[in-house]
Structure 1
Amino acid sequence: MRLRRSLVALTLTAAVAAAPMTLTSPAFADTALDVATSEQVAPGVRLESFTTRSVSAAAVQGELLTVDLRNPHVSVDLLHPQSVAQANTVSRMANAQGAVAGVNGDFFNNTEAQHPGVAFTDSSDGPEIAGGRALKAAVPNGQRFGPGMPPGVTTQAVLGVGADGVGRLGVASLEGSVRINSTTRPLGGLNQYAIPVGGIGAYTSAWGATSRARSVCGTDTTRGAACSTDVAEVTLRLGRVVAVSGTVGAGAIAPDETVLVGREAGADALRSLTIGQHVAVHYNLSTGTGVPFRSAVGGFPILENGTVVPGQDAKAAAVRTGAGFSADGHEMFLVAVQPAPGVSGGMTTPEVAQLLQQAGAANAVNLDGGGSTTLVAWDPGADAVTVRNRPTDAAGERSVANGIGIFVK
């Protein structure tokens, strides 16, 4: 019996405590899920709190949001700070954007110890799409800050909702070009903290005022490699060159401006430009399916077509955030799990995949975990979200790069 079906008998009003219900599933052969409370956060959005045990028999607590994407009043979008290179807490982002619930999103660049003196950026590893608008693309695989991904998975992997209102896993790959001196070159980056070796990256007003210097550090295979010194930066205003520099700068970018940063061969191409010259820059994030994403966030797949993705780390138990969709993409599941008080550990990513499968998911991803794991929802009668899990970061709720927000008209 799946968790989703077992909750029908619970009273779905506001924070109604129910007698513990013990459930078993083949996914957790010897593990029971005890659902303690259920509440209707908003029409089409339900929140359950539960306890269970991991395969190692460690006690685990969790919160599960179930979202009905068929409800015409319900939508999903990216939670994000004012700029790509900043971070903020999930609760602040949700309240600022008017979400009724949400969780934290992708892994992000939260340390630069390997590059002393380089300005810090909180930008996420993977792509970001908000309201149908491409905010950023993915960093090269070797630059990723998060843990190892299953074989064959890239930083372009995302979970999102399409323009058709259907949730799905997929990729959001950068398709872009820069035309310089009658030569068209591929665009290697969009508002990301690392651009490919020899490439050119574009930065827009969405990036913010944070220094772009980190973008030329590391290589496509080694995050901690030294920063390149063979660099150039060009500022375009309405498609015309207004500045050419041999260093990578900082500062806010105007809405009518685009800053191009190049390294190695990309820097050579930018250095050939002169003031007043026209440069054409085009880009989009392609799904390869013909259905554009209305919203998307980076995360590596842990469950695909009802099967746990092979090659995952089945030993590392930790605090986790996961997200998934039903087989038809019409139901969304957001979960946060952590060890019970006084207990260490948590869940492995395969266990999170199995838990989401019990909830009704056929496809799911792993999101940033540990101190980043945060699940928020409206309190009954309130017009703002509060944190519903127990964040494990020493400072409390951690500032993160992005999140998944649930919105109800």
Structure 2
Amino acid sequence: MAPCLEWVRVIGGRCVQRIRAVLIVVLFILVFAEAMSAQTITLFPEHIVLALPKQSGQTFTVSYTTNPMKVLIDSNFPIAHLLPSESFGDVALREMRYSQGPKGSRVVLDFNYPIPQGVITEGESFFQLDIPKTFVNTTRRMVEFGVVYGHQRRADSFGPNVVNYLEIDLWYGYEVKLALAQNRLFGSEQVSSIAKRTGAIAAVNGAFFASTGRPLGVFMIDGELISEPYADRTALGLGPKLAVMDRVSFRGEIVLNDGSLLTTLQGVNRPRLQDELIIYTQHHGTKTNTNSFGREVVVVNGTVTQIQPGNSTIPPDGFVLSAHGVQTERLGQLAVGDGLEVNITLNPAWDGLGVNQIIGGGPRLVRDGRLEITGEEELFRDDILAGRAPRTAIGLTDDQKLLFVTVNGRQPNISVGMTLHELGNLLIELGALQAMNLDGGGSTTMVIRDFVLNLPSDGKERPVG
């Protein structure tokens, strides 16, 4: 009998066990080698770690290129277990490439957007490069005394963002005012054109607006209410060296000469809906543009001068009350020659503070230095509340500085935009004690000295209301 067979016959079990042990060791070595290769790059939400084995006498040199963004790791020796090319589904890192030549080897990390330099750690047997994915790079410069422009290139685990902001010290007495596109209620105009027309040092887009350009929500210029609040949304009030922020509600009353209440008002300079009473002023234009299914009362100097069904001419020194449904019965009590007055109040009563400019926006982002998103309470929909988008916001600091902030968005690998929570945290980071959202998306625009600083997501500057 052959010795091997005799050995197997006598102690065959042990022979098999040894064969299994050899197989296990070989498999373990193979798996371990593959694991080492897979762990060359480790992706974390906030950073990337490159770990390479190091031989005796081996050196590594790291360099960077920014256009396109690459990290180059050169070594005087080859590096084991690296593939020629490996792609990654990471938001920042696109690909790792490896090559070697007679003078050594090179690892190239291709990134989707600019990143800061990494931190190198070396030991006798390893080389490690830790590259941050979460960072904020800020530059600031003075536009005028009391007006500072800030620019940020920043990134987090969701990708990069470009932020522009203005910091205006109200104690310097700068006049911060609102303006309508084309200086009228209807129509649209680019922010850069409005800034140039009004001679503004700087400007940002503001209120949400309808397809006609009409502002949606409360809007007051120089003490004249142009449109009423909607859903008691958050608004900003401005006056000489003053800025305040709160949710704003509205009440309008039609009072007769004897002091009795005729009826209440539902809106200002907007389309009349069922059973509503709307007041139309000179800001609406020359006509009410209403249909004939109602009743309209023309008032000049507090006296009714004309009554008709609809589409009345708005007098330059008066207004038109336009009623539908049940409200036509209230106006039916009036006759030509009757006297009346319209009392409109906003709550809070900011006029007592000297506020003469009010812009509605929302939702609230920050209250008393803490994140507070009031989207549901202010009846906003998901097109505003959900997801990432270009954003415009306004904030107030504890030392009476006004912050205008824009965030570029919808631009992969350049600026992905922010959620409202991220926007609120950004305002807190910039020092806001109070903050609210404004119209964003393609409307987001910041202009300083007639120059558009942000990258509008439409690819060009959008006309706004």
Q: Do these two structures clear the TM 0.5 threshold for a shared fold by scoring above it?
A: yes
Match of 2:285 among 208, 211, 225: 208
Alignment check: 8 A CA contact 2:299 2:319 kept: yes
Listed one character per residue, the Cα deviations across residues 3-36 of structure 1 (whole Å, up to 9, x for unaligned) are: xxxxxxxxxxxxxxxxx999xxxxxx9842212x
Residues 1:339 and 2:403 aligned together: no
Cross-structure match for 1:58 = 159
Match of 1:77 among 157, 165, 177: 177
Give SS of 1:79's match.
coil
Q: Against the structure 1 CA distance between its residues 75 and 347, is the aligned structure 2 distance closer, same or farther, given a 3 Å change threshold?
A: same
Counterparts of 2:251 and 2:191, CA distance in 1: 30
Cross-structure match for 2:366 = 303
Give SS of 2:141's match.
strand
Q: Which amino acid aligns with 1:338?
A: N
Moved more, 82-91 or 185-194: 185-194
Q: Against the structure 1 CA distance between its residues 127 and 315, is the aligned structure 2 distance closer, same or farther, given a 3 Å change threshold?
A: closer
Match of 2:254 among 178, 181, 187: 178
Listed one character per residue, the Cα deviations across residues 118-158 of structure 1 (whole Å, up to 9, x for unaligned) are: xxx3211211122333332124x3xxxxxxxxxxxx33x20
Counterparts of 2:371 and 2:279, CA distance in 1: 37
Q: CA deviation at 1:389?
A: 0.9
Residues 1:269 and 2:330 aligned together: yes
Residues 1:167 and 2:167 aligned together: no
Q: CA deviation at 1:339?
A: 3.0
Cross-structure match for 1:243 = 306
Match of 2:436 among 338, 343, 365: 365
Q: Against the structure 1 CA distance between its residues 91 and 185, is the aligned structure 2 distance closer, same or farther, given a 3 Å change threshold?
A: farther
How does 1:306-321 map onto structure 2 within 5 Å? 306-310=369-373, 312=375, 315-321=386-392
Match of 1:95 among 184, 196, 200: 196
Match of 1:386 among 451, 457, 464: 451
Q: Against the structure 1 CA distance between its residues 94 and 286, is the aligned structure 2 distance closer, same or farther, given a 3 Å change threshold?
A: farther
Q: CA deviation at 1:345?
A: 3.9
Listed one character per residue, the Cα deviations across residues 206-262 of structure 1 (whole Å, up to 9, x for unaligned) are: 22246543xx9xxxxxxxxxxxx8522221122222322223x266x3321201111
Q: Against the structure 1 CA distance between its residues 389 and 310, is the aligned structure 2 distance closer, same or farther, given a 3 Å change threshold?
A: closer
Aligned length: 324
Q: Against the structure 1 CA distance between its residues 195 and 308, is the aligned structure 2 distance closer, same or farther, given a 3 Å change threshold?
A: farther
Tell me the percent identity.
Answer: 27
Residues 1:400 and 2:464 aligned together: yes
Q: Against the structure 1 CA distance between its residues 189 and 91, is the aligned structure 2 distance closer, same or farther, given a 3 Å change threshold?
A: farther
Alignment check: 8 A CA contact 1:199 1:262 kept: yes
Cross-structure match for 1:44 = 146
Q: Which amino acid aligns with 2:265?
A: G
Counterparts of 1:288 and 1:235, CA distance in 2: 28
Moved more, 344-353 or 281-290: 281-290
CA RMSD, aligned part only? 2.9
Q: CA deviation at 1:180?
A: 4.9
Give SS of 2:171's match.
coil
Alignment check: 8 A CA contact 1:188 1:195 kept: no
Cross-structure match for 2:424 = 353
Alignment check: 8 A CA contact 2:166 2:405 kept: yes
Q: Against the structure 1 CA distance between its residues 237 and 315, is the aligned structure 2 distance closer, same or farther, given a 3 Å change threshold?
A: closer
Listed one character per residue, the Cα deviations across residues 152-188 of structure 1 (whole Å, up to 9, x for unaligned) are: xx33x2012245x222212443343213586414542
Counterparts of 2:289 and 2:206, CA distance in 1: 23
Alignment check: 8 A CA contact 1:131 1:294 kept: yes
Q: Against the structure 1 CA distance between its residues 230 and 211, is the aligned structure 2 distance closer, same or farther, given a 3 Å change threshold?
A: closer
Give SS of 2:186's match.
coil
Residues 1:285 and 2:346 aligned together: yes
Counterparts of 1:194 and 1:270, CA distance in 2: 18
Counterparts of 2:249 and 2:289, CA distance in 1: 21
Cross-structure match for 2:137 = 34
Alignment check: 8 A CA contact 1:337 1:347 kept: yes
Counterparts of 1:258 and 1:388, CA distance in 2: 41
Q: CA deviation at 1:278?
A: 2.3
Q: CA deviation at 1:271?
A: 3.1
Counterparts of 2:287 and 2:371, CA distance in 1: 39
Q: Which has the higher helix share?
A: 2
Larger Rg: 2
Cross-structure match for 1:149 = none
Moved more, 269-278 or 361-370: 269-278
Higher relative contact order (CA 8 A, sep 6+): 1
Q: Which amino acid aligns with 2:254?
A: V
Q: CA deviation at 1:48?
A: 1.6
Alignment check: 8 A CA contact 2:441 2:457 kept: yes
Give SS of 2:432's match.
coil
Residues 1:233 and 2:299 aligned together: no
Residues 1:188 and 2:253 aligned together: no
Q: Which amino acid aligns with 1:282?
A: N
Alignment check: 8 A CA contact 1:67 1:331 kept: yes
Alignment check: 8 A CA contact 2:264 2:277 kept: yes
Give SS of 2:193's match.
helix
Counterparts of 1:257 and 1:321, CA distance in 2: 36
Cross-structure match for 1:256 = 317
Alignment check: 8 A CA contact 1:85 1:122 kept: yes
Q: Against the structure 1 CA distance between its residues 186 and 398, is the aligned structure 2 distance closer, same or farther, given a 3 Å change threshold?
A: farther
Q: Against the structure 1 CA distance between its residues 327 and 194, is the aligned structure 2 distance closer, same or farther, given a 3 Å change threshold?
A: farther
Alignment check: 8 A CA contact 1:87 1:399 kept: yes
Q: Against the structure 1 CA distance between its residues 250 and 373, is the aligned structure 2 distance closer, same or farther, given a 3 Å change threshold?
A: farther
Q: Which amino acid aligns with 1:42?
A: E
Give SS of 1:91's match.
helix
Q: Against the structure 1 CA distance between its residues 49 and 210, is the aligned structure 2 distance closer, same or farther, given a 3 Å change threshold?
A: farther
Q: Which amino acid aligns with 2:446?
A: L
Structure 1 residues without counterparts, runs of 5 or longer:
1-19, 23-28, 111-120, 142-153, 217-228, 379-384, 402-409
Counterparts of 1:327 and 1:210, CA distance in 2: 45
